[in-house]
Structure 1
């Protein structure tokens, strides 16, 4: 078992707290099947860029960066993150820095987190491994998509309404819980590199089999498979991780 990064510094009233979905991603990425896949795909001196979209506390990207040598067979790994929540970006940076300092023999190079909407800060064709734990809970509508002006100034304490809004961005997925995830999936042909792959978390109400069929419709080179599942039911949520890759 690889150690989980410490997130005790994170303000959970405005940043998503690591939960079963987060830990399923950690277990999946560090499983024997996935480390073999990653090491085979990105061996021979290749330096992969790993990006987590919607990093929240930073527990997932900090884990990947801290244990780069174990997951990829090399410390020559670049890791970064994107989150629409400025407080999540700050939390991610702190989590990643702390985890790297505790795993000095195995960590890669963490490049920092950028505030932005999904893939907007990313160059086309640049991402080798994309990780996404989306807002997957079905809700009547999505929260208003924020701009920088929608976040309180860093020197000002957020109000209760500010905190509620920021947390809603992390879980409210709109119709079938898929409105945000669909936007990200539709962008994969642009954002992934030629070696690119993506790990995306889904719940039962996201209709995972329909999601897989839409991905296969991208073309013959596109593949998708379930590579991780939760062993427990959390209400109606039964979670799975799908891996999308190009051959």
Structure 2
């Protein structure tokens, strides 16, 4: 059998197993087995010796719902190809929109002649931080995570970028105290799942670390509230807070920012499907003429 026929068979197997994107995953696994960045089936090369056996093993792992990214060790995020490994949260496409707001704000400040300081809290594999550091190279970017494995992976993904990566807990009121009142953009995709909302997908439930999923407290918002408190302390007047949350948490996130008493222009913004998925707010304080709403 050729590569195309093997991919078609794998697609059927993955669909029967309930994999959400069986054809995409079957093609990606074939590309990985062939040592290619991507595979166009109409131009598929002949199956090399040993390919069918290796490919069958990869497909079986995916059929058992091991995350595709763990199998290939990579994932795409914006313009990046990022390393992924078990024990660290896999970056999600919806977070690319959150990163875009941070990138746009940093780029706006650079265009105004500034060298912005951007902090990414709960960075995970570093998708947001590395995106800002590579897309806005004039920015200074710090990334923080409580997981040593996530810190190590972010350093690996950010190699060559102007990126300072630290281990730390966002609930620590002294975290990054040396930056108090100096940060231009604080961005975060914190854990926010409530304890009774166990994810349905086995790829998430059985493979993403609990530390990166569950936000603490009955509503899952203990850690997001800690992010908001950290933003109130770290951001300079006019600085921007951008934080991802679940679509059902928009009102609670806005309320938490309002209760903090340090923010204005508090709003929820949608993801690509129109669902309210991020909190955006400005640190109260005197604004320069360049500190308009992004």
Question: Do these two structures clear the TM 0.5 threshold for a shared fold by scoring above it?
Answer: yes
Residue of structure 2 in register with 1:84 after alignment: 146
Q: Deviations over 1:2-54 (max 9, x none)?
A: 952222x331x210011234333234445xxxx2x544455432211111111
Do residues 44 (structure 1) and 118 (structure 2) align? no
CA drift of 1:239 comes to 5.2
Do residues 121 (structure 1) and 164 (structure 2) align? no
**Structure 1 residues 182, 219: CA separation in 2 closer, same or farther (over 3 Å shift)?**
closer
The structure where helix makes up a greater share of residues is 2
Larger Rg: 2
Runs (5+) with no aligned partner, structure 2: 1-76, 198-205, 288-294
Residue of structure 2 in register with 1:6 after alignment: 81
**Cα RMSD between the aligned structures?**
2.8
Return the alpha-carbon distance in structure 1 between the equivalents of residues 257 and 159 of structure 2: 35
Residue of structure 1 in register with 2:52 after alignment: none
Return the alpha-carbon distance in structure 2 between the equivalents of residues 125 and 220 of structure 1: 12
**Structure 1 residues 138, 220: CA separation in 2 closer, same or farther (over 3 Å shift)?**
closer
What TM-score comes out, normalization by structure 1 length?
0.68
Do residues 180 (structure 1) and 232 (structure 2) align? no
* Corresponding pairs, count: 195
CA contact (8 A) 2:266 2:280 kept: yes
Do residues 198 (structure 1) and 241 (structure 2) align? yes
CA drift of 1:240 comes to 1.0
Structure 1 moving runs of 4+ over 6 Å: none
Pick from 239, 244, 247 the counterpart of residue 281 of structure 2. Answer: 244
Query: Equivalent residue of 1:128, what SS?
Result: strand
Runs (5+) with no aligned partner, structure 1: 69-74, 101-108, 142-163, 233-237
